[in-house]
Structure 1
């Protein structure tokens, strides 16, 4: 849904590609990235190594595709968490808390960030282009829709969306902070105090 709408790179959504990505998710979650190879994923998926390369690519492409698919899946969960809230500010606050909670608790993304932070770092920074753009455009799209629905002046929300994504990613990469956001209520308070004002920027 998200990547298709944005034109973000994504493996073909056919059954075989999904089967390979399912196997990659299981392999990476069980054994981590360092101990996993393309051969391991191919074996788990019941296909040849060549098929994995043709459908997805090498190990880095496989990891990136797997992570991007997980990001796209939790977008659906965040949408569901904020859908019933009446105002853009409320949806932003709840969405921020939901994103932090989902990523921290996610067996693949959160698990790898705890167990292999040095391995995951490139996929969340230097090699995170597709996922970063997808998340920025997702948030910008939601802010744009809210502007229209609530009769607000229509401004380009992309800069605000980018700032919010960068702030969120920085907390995930380096949780050491004077801000306490470990609990949902703390994350909501942080978002209301520091992120909501960005909407007026």
Structure 2
């Protein structure tokens, strides 16, 4: 069994062959979804996973890192869903617009993300902002790779898409954390129109 190592942002990366760590993450997802972060302890997760408290700490070191690893795993699953959803669209602009809409929708309906944002925003907020370097970095890296591929296909490989990716991710996160504003982001037509007017033009900035 391989050992866990850290991401640059500090979150624990779980090796695919570490079945115990994966079982702990499954239990954490179930625990946090059912009872939230405030009412869940490492002991609760350990009992649900059928392992000792020491085993959880050996792999994840703290509750904060366990939470972050759980969020990162769900983000990776979402990125796969997003790829499958936007890949058939004909243009990069269309993929950016629909990706923005799908991201907002998924975050609202996801049992973990949506529940935490509604019920415990003050607890999940640090994992997306102050302590969220790993979760933000994961999504920025995902979008950077997709933008770079598209630009290479257009013969624009000399341009670095990372600043644009980070800007788009931060815009989406801000609307997730505080959806109230002049645009009703719960209305997908309005969210789509916003993305097409304000985000899509950034591709050619």
Whether TM-score is above 0.5 comes out as: yes
CA contact (8 A) 1:144 1:154 kept: no
Confirm or deny that 1:187 pairs with 2:170.
Answer: no
What TM-score do the two structures reach when normalised by structure 1?
0.93
How far 1:105 moved relative to its partner? 0.7
Match of 2:107 in 1: 103
Equivalences for 1:1-201 in 2 at 5 Å?
Answer: 9=11, 10-13=13-16, 14-152=18-156, 154-201=158-205
Q: Distance in 1 between matches of 2:94 and 2:198?
A: 13
Instruction: Please give the per-residue CA displacement for 1:40-83, whole angstroms capped at 9, x wherever unaligned.
Output: 00000000000001112211111010011111110000001101
Q: Distance in 2 between matches of 1:78 and 1:196?
A: 17
Q: Distance in 1 between matches of 2:45 and 2:118?
A: 22
Out of 66-75 and 153-162, give the one that drifted further: 153-162
What TM-score do the two structures reach when normalised by structure 2?
0.91
How far 1:181 moved relative to its partner? 1.8
Match of 1:3 in 2: none
Q: Distance in 1 between matches of 2:37 and 2:137?
A: 23
Structure 2 unaligned runs (5+)? 1-6
Secondary structure at the counterpart of residue 15 of structure 2: coil
Structure 1 unaligned runs (5+)? 1-5
RMSD: 1.6
Q: Distance in 1 between matches of 2:46 and 2:87?
A: 39
Count the aligned residue pairs.
Answer: 197
CA contact (8 A) 2:183 2:191 kept: no
